[in-house]
């Protein structure tokens, strides 16, 4: 009989044990250990997880965050995935009143001036938080190679400190953490996995339409997202150089 759940004290050990396992092995562990688990699907390369997970557990719960600002190609892709795979797909919408208030107060493109966190908070994080309050674990398509500055240390299994509470711990699985983009695309070709048509138009990373752009050959995919924010993204850091100098 398979033990259910993963106690917090065992997460780091399992993450180390599974660090070099395949995405399918990590997904199998996740789906064996958790009944109440959902896979986050953004309408991009994380389609490989839908392909893998639906073979392991037909009917697997999948959710997408519909910000209301996605590309038409992404909506069509999400719908084609719903038709092709044996999954239970929930498309989550942001709170109407919160979106209306944001747009009334700051307009439809406030993120170009104020940064993306307020808009993403309302359109993505609040619905995600609401969803994660209903599950014990979730699965993401995060990969270490997606951003050298923010994802380089993403483990294959982790306690989700952002969305857990003392009463409701949430475990997060990142089966693709150690895969490269090239490995993801090799899997997609070998298994005839469908993909978002935006990839054929030069989009490496896919998010909301106003905040995502195509990248040039050899440009990092990170450069296709929130490109106007790079200069200020770390402005709250208390620089180590100063701290050292102060001693």
Residues forming the active site: 236
Minimum distance from residue 108 beta carbon to other proteins (Å):
17
The torsion angles phi and psi of 17, rounded to 5 degrees, stand at -65, -40
**Tokens representing 57?**
């557990």
**Terminal C-alpha separation, the chain:** 56
State in angstroms the smallest separation of the CB of 192 from other proteins.
25
> What's the Cα-to-Cα distance from 39 to each of 47, 91, 116, rounded to whole Å?
10, 12, 24
The tokens for 85 are 């795979």
Complex with other proteins: residue 57 or 154, whichever CB lies closer: 154
For the CB of residue 36, give the shortest distance to other proteins in the complex, in Å: 21
* Minimum CB distance to other proteins smaller for 45 or for 57: 45
What's the CA gap between 41 and 78, in Å, rounded? 9
In sequence order, which residues have a C-beta less than 8 Å from that of residue 132 and are 6 or more positions away?
138, 160, 163, 170
Q: How far is the C-alpha of 122 from the C-alpha of 137, rounded, in Å?
A: 22
CA-only gyration radius of the chain, Å: 19
Tokens of 20: 């070099």
Give min distance, CB of 238 to other proteins, in A. Answer: 5
Which residues in this chain contact other proteins in the complex, by CB under 8 A? Answer: 40, 42, 65, 95, 98, 102, 115, 117-118, 120-122, 124-126, 128-129, 142, 146-147, 149-151, 154, 161-163, 205, 207, 225-226, 232, 235-240, 242-247
Q: Decide whether 57 or 135 has the Cβ nearer to other proteins.
A: 135
Residue placing its CB nearer to other proteins in the complex, 20 or 161 = 161
Q: Considering the complex, state which of residue 20 and residue 232 has its C-beta at the smaller distance from other proteins.
A: 232
> What is 195-208 written as a DSSP string?
--GGGGGT-SS--B
Q: How far is the CB of 4 from other proteins (least distance, A)?
A: 26
């Amino acid at each position: 009989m398979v033990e259910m759940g993963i106690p917090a004290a065992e997460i780091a050990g399992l993450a180390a044990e599974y660090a070099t396992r395949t995405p399918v092995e990590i997904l199998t562990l996740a789906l064996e250990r958790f009944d109440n688990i959902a896979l986050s699907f953004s309408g991009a390369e994380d389609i490989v997880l839908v392909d893998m997970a639906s073979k392991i557990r037909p009917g697997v719960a999948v959710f997408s965050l519909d910000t209301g600002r996605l590309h038409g190609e992404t909506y069509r892709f999400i719908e084609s995935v719903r038709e092709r795979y044996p999954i239970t797909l929930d498309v989550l919408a942001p709170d109407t009143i919160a979106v209306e208030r944001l747009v009334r107060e700051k307009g439809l493109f406030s993120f170009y001036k104020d940064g993306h966190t307020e808009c993403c908070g309302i359109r993505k994080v609040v619905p995600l938080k609401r969803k994660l309050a209903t599950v014990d674990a979730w699965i993401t398509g995060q990969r270490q190679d997606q951003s050298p500055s923010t994802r380089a240390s993403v483990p294959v299994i982790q306690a989700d400190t952002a969305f857990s509470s003392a009463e409701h711990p949430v475990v997060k699985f990142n089966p693709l953490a150690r895969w490269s983009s090239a490995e993801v695309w090799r899997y997609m070709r070998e298994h005839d996995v469908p993909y978002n048509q935006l990839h054929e138009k030069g989009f490496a990373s896919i998010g909301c339409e106003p905040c995502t752009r195509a990248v040039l050959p050899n440009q990092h995919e990170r450069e296709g997202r929130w490109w106007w924010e790079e200069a200020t993204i770390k402005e709250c850091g208390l620089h180590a150089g100063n701290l050292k100098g102060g001693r």
